[in-house]
Amino acid sequence: MTEFKKKALDTLDEIFNLVESKFDNFEVDYEDENLRIDSLEGGGTFIVSIHSPTSQIWLSSPISGAHHFESNPTDSVEWISTRDTNINLKQLIIKELGAK
């Protein structure tokens, strides 16, 4: 297993556990190398997927659309948007799922 794949799978596990523990109004499931996060209140579906050819994690959000994230070389647990380096994958998910 490549370093990218291990880090990406660890990140999906972290997001899975975060949603399970903090967001009662969402259901989260693995589908191969994808996380599917469904709103139980009709707010749509988020898909977080590993895209091995580009070494990225992709997010499809019903709120903000499509995003691509690359591993931050200076922070081993952070994934940064390829369009806006101020956007962090986990922070964006928490914001869009409505964490207080």
Burial of 100 from C-beta contacts in 10 A (0-12 / 13-18 / 19+): exposed
pLDDT band at 18 (very low <50, low <70, confident <90, very high): very high
pTM of the shown model = 0.91
Determine the topology of domain 3-97 in CATH. Metal Transport, Frataxin; Chain A (3.30.920)
Residue, of 32 and 17, whose pLDDT is higher: 17
What tens digit of pLDDT does each residue of 43-90 get? 899 999 999 999 999 999 999 999 999 998 776 679 999 999 999 999
Name the residue ranges covered by the structural domains of the chain: 3-97
